[in-house]
Amino acid sequence: MSGKPIVLFVCVHNAGRSQMAAGFARELSGGSVEVRSGGSEPGEQINAAAVEVMREKGIDISEAVPQMLLTEDVRDADAVITMGCGDACPIFPGKRYEDWELSDPAGKDVAFVRSVRDDIERRVRELLRSLTE
């Protein structure tokens, strides 16, 4: 155990929202938190529009690969942030859970995905502040 808080970002396909959140958390935390992400039904590949809008912020998520959410990931995490995965996420007592109501960027244009990205960035900044205070 590294002693760093572990944050897990979860969405259904692990191809857009959770990958953008993980990218922001890695970049903005400067390594002060361990970042993981997963999906209940991982997609084939990361959302190309998500990659494009994150690149505008200087964050490269192009190498990210959608991952299956594992029960161990939830058990190990200090904070579990869900984004529309409903009941697919296992619940463990004593964990911090937040459900972020975010529009699904799948199949949407870049302008729409950019607005989702900006909402995610704001929420990640707030989360990191609360974890590292």
Closest CA to 18 of 87, 78, 90, 85: 85
- In the 8-state DSSP scheme, what is residue 101? -
Out of 10, 11, 46, 102, the active site residue is 11
1 is catalytic: no
The backbone torsions φ and ψ at residue 4, rounded to the nearest 5 degrees and listed phi first, read -80, 145
Compute CA 133 distance to the chain's CA centroid, rounded to the nearest angstrom: 21
Catalytic residue among 51, 69, 89, 127: 89
Cβ atoms of 68 and 12 within 8 Å: the answer is: no
- Looking at 20, 81, 85, 102, which residue is catalytic? 85
Q: Decide: helix, strand or coil at residue 39.
A: strand
**1 Cβ contact partners less than 8 Å away, ≥ 6 residues apart:** none
Q: Active site includes 36?
A: no
86 is catalytic: no
Helix or strand holding residue 8 (H, E) = strand 6-11
Q: Which residues are catalytic?
A: 11, 85, 89
